[in-house]
Structures are given as structure tokens and as C-alpha cells.
Chain A
Amino acid sequence: MKHLNLTVKRYIIILLCCLLANICSYAQEQIVGRVLDINGNPLAGASVRVLSQDIGAITNAEGEFKLLFLQHQDTLVVSYVGYVTVHQPLSVDNEGIIDVVLERDPKALEEIVVSTGYYDVPRERATGSFAHVDNKLLNRSVSTNILERLNGVVSGLQFVDPHAKEASGLRVRGLSTIQADTRPLIVIDNFPYEGDIMTINPNDVESITVLKDAAAASIWGARAGNGVIVINTKQGAYNQTTQISLNGNVSVGGKPNLFYSQSYLPSPTVMEIQKELFERGAYAEQEQTYIPSYVELLIKQRDGLITNQEFTRHENHLRNSDLRQDAMDYLYQHSINQQYNLGVRGGGENYRYALSAGYDKNRAYIVGDNNVRLNLSLQNTFRVRPNFELTGAIWYTEQKKMQNGISYRDLLLPLSPTNIYDPLVDINGVPGVTGSRFRQAYREDSEEDGLLDWMYRPLEEQKMLDRTNGGKELRLNVRGRYEFLNGFYLDANYHYVNGDDWSRESHSPQSYFVRDLVNQYTQVDLSRPIPYGGILDIGMPVSSHTHSARAQLNLNRNIGAAHWITALIGGEVRQRTLDTTPALRIYNYDHELGTGTTDLDFRQSFPTRPLYSARIPNVASAAAAPATVTDRFLSYFGNASYIYNTRYTISASARWDGSNLIGVKANQRGTALWSLGASWDVSGESFYNLEQIPYLRLRMTYGSAGNIDKSQSHFPTIQVGTNNITGLPQSNLRHPGNPSLRWEQVNTFNMGVDWHMYSNRIRGSIEYYHKHAKHLLGDNLMDPTLGLGMNYKVNYASLLTRGWDFQLTSNNLTGPLEWTTNLLLSYTANRVTSYNAPNQLFSTYFTNHPVVNGKSVDLIYSLPWYGLNPANGYPLVVVDGELTSDFINYYNNLKVEDLLANAVRVPPYFGSLQNNFTFRGIELGFLITYKFGHHFRRNSISPGQEYVVNAPVYHMDYFNRWQRAGDEAITNVPAWADSYGAFQRDYLYKYSEILVTRGDHVRIQDATLSYTFERHNLRKLNLEQLRFFVYARNIGILWRANRNSIDPDYNNADYTMPRSMALGLQVTF
């Protein structure tokens, strides 16, 4: 069967090739020409027609066309969307290449060419759903990360993480999978990119196309299930005068406002609570237990170790301290991000090039956190023969991050518990001491006992931290392009990416990390199994190598004036290896000499202070060994579209993918995916006479794309290691093998209408889609007798995602004052259509997001709320139809069906409104984004959690709590409790419907103001263009549905993203 399939496949390929070849077999004489804009840039896809005859051509990517069998005297009609049509006389004397130069039509629309990574196509000729972000739109915003620039400007692209810097925080048209990878595929210069997106210099990017439906994305086959983001970098052009552009900008961001979060109680309140706990005897006064500093003070007072006067002085100091203010003063700063870029582009007769150098230097708003990035790139293309072009390109990126800051969050970690009243600068004006695991009173005496100083002082540590990580990335691309016959070309590509990441953390001997570790292991006789010296941690270096090669045969030509055919067929191989080397720790490290040791006694167990015994932590454990992961992919693909009379377009694509991740038998390894599409330009028909709508086009596509989960395996897999107890080699059965493992598949139907109104001043498009994802991996109910154990996923689940994308662009004003508005609005909702997960723990319905058949993946579950009991202020519940206070009984008898499931956490409605005004070189724009229809679970108090000794939970709702009968009419916050008590009481409020809060909001995301000096003003300076701009980001919320002053994008966060303001300059020579 396998051989039969392969044979059939090969015959089909041969047949297709022969068919394509035959189309051009009657070629005879020809004339060669080129269509350029006034800057000498080639215009791809321009239509060239011979006036007297029914023959014509479409220009290729280099703007070139070839026409056959010309009469002696004739006229060429060259037209291109957005340009004035040219009638150019021809005679037989015309020899060599005819250049036709088109001028921009000021009244016309710009032609948009979308790129799939395999081919470029003018949007008017594509059937699929593409979202295109051109260079101007990309440069509207200022950021170090390229993905951030897509926020709010791409129809259907949702930032689930509002500040996503990686593909994992994005969704293209909602979800297409349940438990596999949700990341859209990122393609850079025609090849999938799996490195760190932060290595990409946004200034190198020319345009981005987002492929949203099957017709657009299925050319990427098994990896396109989550949508594809295609990034194209800037290229040079033939016969283009050298263009040098310089730009630089500086953004300054505000300090985070730590007073945003309401999860705190003021210092005096916390001190009162701790005093009460102290009086109750809740603190175990033992060496190994942390005791809050105010309680230590109370203990000293009780034991007569300090005078009452001294006590009051300290107490008052604590009462007036606020950790948040101290953190803002000492730990945070204004962020300063600098970005500089030099770009040079141009080309000669047979040579074109682009090179760029970029430098980014960012100072984060946490003192001590910085990062720098250097980007270099060079692309050269040579026309070796008139029909043979060779390109070599190289990109190099180096990044380094210093993470030497201490954040507010760090101070609250259990290892360094800090109270809101703990001052960072103490009463004597020196760096203050905050908590650590062990009792402060115990650590205070350490030096007298012959130990090292055992105090943790954040402000001193801040200066000593030395944590860096970085990476280098090299991308190489070699491309040959051979044109032959009429409209054929063969494209061969080789692409290589090498990334190396490293990290290291050097702890100086003075650091708390070293002092704490050495002290813990100091023996009774004061000997030190861990020598007192620096400690250097070298993180696990990761190195990746990706090789890809692709060969592709393209056809792009027209037959007569009425038929236009574009087709491609090709194959691709790809291998990615990921090598990891174990991490290493060097003890007694001397920073100056670079000496240290890894040879300590890691096997013996030493008594530790204050209690227990332990071995010396050995970062490089015996089980760690260098590891290599290899992914391999093999693909064949084909794509064709046919346009008749510029009105009717049909398109088809097919792709076969194989991977070593799936299957042992070749015929199960691969998956074949395909798409079909059609479009009809209704306005081009002779019967069409709607003058108000001069352009109307209908599109419809259907097809499939795939997805894969790398954690699953077809065959049993083991991981080998060493048994911790016996030291014998041992294997762990990672997966018992899933003989039925296959690719996930997403079938997408897309239907769209594009129209222009009011002489093209309003352009709109609306698309409806329906994605049925099937064969999704999910935990399945299995017969336990099979012994499969945990994590056994089977391809059986399915998910339905539906939605629509609406887009409207309007030129409200033309003339000296131009005003353009762009409106985006999308809707998306998903529903699990098949899933039988094993029963889940009841409480995980609140904390996790369990997948439930028939429900959305994004649901928030909550408990019904019946108000507070007037008698005691605790939640009321309903048992047998009666209001009661028996919440334990009620909760324990709850079923999943009793939960409310009426809110989703990801906004189903989202979009943006972008306005731009231009007047004599001045441009003003602002972007408003909105999200509707979603909810979030708001934080509040947990009665009694304030009185928990370890990790208490505070919230300002404490002051809005029920205090006396009658309060239940004005508040939903339950009464105080002197201890946590039954968790059911807590859950009934914490996970109740009243804390599920509407997330709808509208925000002004950014605004930009720029001034461009006209060319005639710059003659003296010999400049082409000069542009100044001011850009403001995270401006603020315009409207929100909740009345709690919570920014729904920052629910439960310590602060919202601070505003930032950038100043920039762009010069072009």
C-alpha cells in the first residue's frame, strides 16, 4: 500500500510537471520589458496588454514581463492598481528591455501584495483570508519586539496576553487546539522560525502578513493549524540609487505604580493583626521559623530586651513605613529604551543589496535590569545571467540581558517574606533588614557564634547581583532563481539558523546567597564543608541548529488576455536539533582569578543550621547528561490559481507533511492537507451597475491545516537515568506508545465580502469563518486495566471555533487635511464538541480551566451567590430550597452541574479604531482598542486568611466587610474571622459569581505625532526625507465596565504597564 501510494504520488507529480511544461511549448518570438515606479522599484503583478490584440502578461516579482508574437506597430497598455495607466507605443525596433515607468495615481488605492512565504500575490487576486501590515503601519509604533507592533492593528489577531512578546500569547482567530501547542507558526523570509522572536530587529522588517484561513495557510500544511505570521525583511532593488536611512528613538517609561493593587492591608492594620496573633501565642519562637519583624520587636519588649521608649520609637517607624513606597523609591526607576538603526539599500544593473545595523539598549523600570541587542544583516543579490539570480543573505544578532534587579514580587517570596511595614531603609538610615526563612533573632547572633553575617538587606543585595544571560543567533540564506521559457522559474533555497543561549549568575562572597549557604552548612566546630567564597552558576547552555532546503518550480503567466495562471510545486526538508549541556556550579569562585572548585563532598550528609541535615547542593546531578532533540520534517507542496477575465479566481493547494515525531510506519507518518478557494469580482460584470459600490468581491474557501504535539509519541519511549537510591541505571517509561497517534487537523471554512464605496473612499470587508478542529489530542477515559497510567492522550477530541472579522477603512477627508479611519472588530467563540475527560477534582474548576464537553475552553466557573447571613455575615447557601448557613454541607454536596458557567475569560469581541490626520507633513494618529464580552475573577478577602501565620492573604476589601446586622444590604464582603476555619466558607465567596467581574473596556493604546520635512525643504541639506516623531504608549483606559477601578488586562497584577513616551528621528539620504 505504501509503495502504491508513493508510485501514484510520483506519477501525479510527473503529470503535473508535463502539463505545466506543455502550456509554453508554442513560444516563439518575444519582447522583454520591465515595469517600474518612478523610484526604479519594480512593480510585480502589473498588467501588460497589447492594444490591438488579445494578448497580455502580468509582471513577475522583478517587474518583468515577456510578450510573444508582436505586430510591427502597436501600443502597450500597462496598468497597475494605484498607478496611472500608461499607453506606450511599440515598434519592431524596440530591442533589449523596454522600461515602462508608472506614476502613482494620487486618487487611487495602494496595491497590497500579500506574502505566504511560498509566493506573493496581490490581495485582489487571492481567494484566502490575509491580513497585511505594511511598513508604514509597522513603524507607527515603537518597540524592541516586532510582535508588539501587531497589537491592535491586525484583524482577527488577538493578544490573549495583553503584552505578548512571544507567539504563545497570541491567537489567530481563536483557538484551534485544546491540549497541543497553540502558537501560530512564525515564518521569517520564507522559512519557519523557531528561535527567540526578540532576536528580530523590527527595523529590518518590511511587512507582515497574517494567514488566517485554509486557502492562505494550508500551504504550510501540518503546522498551519494555529494560523501563520509571515515576516518579510527589507530587500534592495535593481537600478535603485543608494538609499541610506538612519533612525533613532528614545522611549521613557514611568515608574510602575505599586499602589494599583488592592491586595494589601496598611501597615498599622497588619501590625494590629500580628500583635493579636502574638498575644494568642500563634508564633512558634523557634530558630528555624520566620517571625515577622514587628513580632520580634514585641518579643523583645516582652522579654525586657528593649526599653518601652525604644519600642515605641521602632513601632512608630514601622507604622509609618510602606514597603510599596520604598520599593518605588529604591527598586524602581523610569525605563529608558534606546533604539538606533542604520539601513542602506540599493542596486545596480545586475546587483542589489540591503544591509542594516541595529542597536537597542533598554533600561527596564526595575533598577538593575537592562538588556542590549545588536543586529547586523547583509543581503546581496546578483543577476549572474539575465535569467539567473543568486542571493546570499546573513543576519546576526547578539543579545545580553542583565537581571540584577529586585522586584516588589521578589520581596514577597516565601524565602524572603517581607511585611508592608518593613522599611528598606531602617530607622538609622542604613539599608534595612527584611525577613528570610529563619528567625531574625537567631540570625542576629550569628557573628557572635563565629558565623558569617546572616542578614538579608535588599538594598545591599541589589548592588551585588550579577545575573546575566544572552544569546547569539546566525541566520543564513542562499537562494538561486532560474527563469526559463515564458513565466517559469525554479527557486532553490537553503536556510540555516544557529542559535546559542547562555546564562550565568555570579554570587559574590558578600552576597546573602553565599553567606546563607555557608552558614547553614557550618559545622559545630565551625568548619565549613562549603568554602566561604564566591559561587558561580553557569546555566544550561542551549544550542540549536536548523537546516532547511526547498526547491520550488513556479509558473506565472497569462494565456491570452483572459487567462492568468500561477502555480507552484515543490519539496522541502528540514531538520532542527537542540543540544543542551548540563548546568554547572563552581564553588569558592574567585572572580578576579577565575578559579574555583566543583570538587566538594556531595555525597555526605552534613548537619545543617539551624536544624536537620542535608547534602551540599550539586547542580550537576548524575542524571544530567548532554541531550539532543532532533525534529525532522519532510514536505511536498503545490499551489495553483487560475484567473479568468480578472473576475473569476479559483485556487487550490495541497501539501503532504511527514515528521519523525509521528509514527513508525511511513504511511502513517504523513498527513495530506489541501484547500480550495474561489472568488468572484461581481463589480466587474457587465450587468453590475451599483454606482455607490464600485467594487464588490465575494470569496469563499475551504480547506485543512494541521498541528502537532511534540510530547506525544507513537512508539513506547523511555528516558534513561540513574536510580537515586540504588545508583543503578534505570529507565522511566515516558510514554507507553500510542499506535493511533496522528496530526491534529483543523478544517476551516471562510466566506468574505470586500467592497469599496463612495469612489473608493470607504473600503470594507467582512469575513465569516468556521473552524472545525478534529483529531485533537485530549486525555481520554481509558480502561484502567490497560495500565496506561497518566498522561495518555488520544486523538479524539474536537473543537468548533466560529467568528467573524470586520474591517472598514475610510478616507474621511482628502485634500490638504487628510483624515483616515480604520475600524477593526472581530468576534470569536469556541466550543468543545467532543471530549470525555476523566473527572476532575471539584476545586480545579475554579483554579484551572478544565475542558468540558459542550463548553468553551475559556470558561470561568463560579458558585451561585445568595448573599450574606444577617446573623453572622458569612455566605448564605441554599439547601433543599431553603436559605441556610450550613455552607460545609452545601459545598460538600455540590456537583459540577451546580456551578455557573456563564463567563469566558478571553474576550469574544475585540478590535480597534485607528485615526490618522495629516496636514502639510504633520501627522497625528491614535489607536483605541476595545475588548468586550469577557469576565475576570476579582480578588477579595478570604475571611481569616489575615490570621494565618504562614503566608497570610490581605485585601483592602477587609474594610468593606460585613460588620453588623444590616451590612448585608450594602456589602457582599463576608465578615471577619479570627482564623481561616473551613475552606468551604472561603471558597463560597472567593469563587462566587459576585467576584466574576465584567472585563469589557476601551483603552487608548497609543498616539503618535510626527512632522515630515518635505523634500524641497531639504535640498540644501541634501536629504531625501526628515521625520520627527513623538509616540506615547499605554495611555490609559477610556471606559471600563467594572466599578472597582481594575484594569481587566491587569487583574491580580501588582501594577499596570506604565505609560511611556518616545521621541524619534528618521533621516533618509
Chain B
Amino acid sequence: MSVIIIEDLCEGCGECAYLCPMGAISIRQKKALVDLDKCVECNTCVRSGICKNAALREDAELRWPRLIRKLYSDVLAEFEATGVTGRGTEEMKSNDVTGRYGCGEVGLAVDVGRPGRGAFVKDIQKVITALLRVGCELGADNPLAGLFDVSTGECLRPETLDERVLSAVVEAKCPISKCASALNALKTLAETLDTCFSVGVITRIIDGEKIEALEVIRSAGFEPLPSAKINVGLGRPGEE
């Protein structure tokens, strides 16, 4: 089962419809209606407490394969494999401690379905396949590793391919020399995919000055937007 509307309690005010990131709630005959095909089980509507009559509820336990929607769409759902909530890993956020991305390497964080479109699992597979084809490696600790073979891109749970999620982050890594190929592969894929994705490129800052992959990115015809995340280098390993 899924998010449900208790019809007897619903007054048809429509406030819940304005909260749904996927536009899955509409008002029909003065009652709210959830389009279960569009709904990605993000739980934003229920969590908001917007319905003063509590007509909006999360019903019972979700069953596989629909459960995959919640795992990739509800920010507070936790992935058992990583212990991380959300769609990705710590990626560069703890790189000063983990060294996940070294000098001479770039990371690619492809947020499939973002912003506001959502994506089918089969769309995510296309992104993974495109990156593997140009020699990228996928992170084995990414939540997606439970769904796809990280070396071939084969979907390990094909029954999920037609399930829709709010977004999922494909995290890959490659030598800087392959960065341009990877970005061009993504650009080409975007022209045929029936959704969108946001792209982040992770690279080291050499001696606190030089953004290592910046020239490669620009030479490939891409210009970074002003927005970025910077790890300021305050972390250090513990005794674990």
C-alpha cells in the first residue's frame, strides 16, 4: 500500500496538492486523489501535517518493488548497507578524512530526476551504463550498488525498472583524462532521456589554490555554475 486519502475525512481544500514535489495529488469531485503512478512515496505530504483532518496517511508497510520508491525518495529513509540516510554517500564531504578522491581523479555526482522531474529506475540504469562505457568506476558503497552490478550496469532487481523515484545520485569516479568523455556522454544522453539530471564534478584543490580539473572541464565546453561545495580540510582520521 501507499500514501492514502481517507475520503470521509477529506474536505477537498487542496492544500496537500501544493506540497507534492511530483504533482501526484489532485482534487477530483471535492476530494484529494493520489496518482499512485506519479507518487514516489517521499512522505512530504504526510510529514508536513498539512491536513487538519488527518485525512492524509501513510498506509501500512510498502511492498517490494514499490518500496524502492521510498528508499530513494524519502530523505529520512535509511539504507541498511551504508547507514546513510538520503540518496548518496558522503562523497567529497568527508574527503579530507577518507581520501576517496585523490589528486588526478574526478568524481561525478549525477542526480538523476533532479530538479522536480523524478526518474524511473530504468533512467538511472541508462546514466550508469553511459558512465561505465567511458571508463568510469561506480562507488560500491553507493545505495545504487544494491540495485545494479557496479561493473556492468546490469539491474540486479529488474522488477524495479519501471518504478519511479524522486531522484537518485549516481556516483562515479575516473582519471581526469576521462572527465571530458564522461561529461560529453552525459550531455548526449540528456538529449534522449525523458527526464533531467543535475551534474556535479568533484576534484581536488591543489595547494589551496588550483581547482585541479577546472581547465579540463572548460576545455570540454562546460562552465561550472557559481554554486559549489568546498571541503575546508578540517577533518582528520579517528582511531577506528
| A and B associate in one complex | no
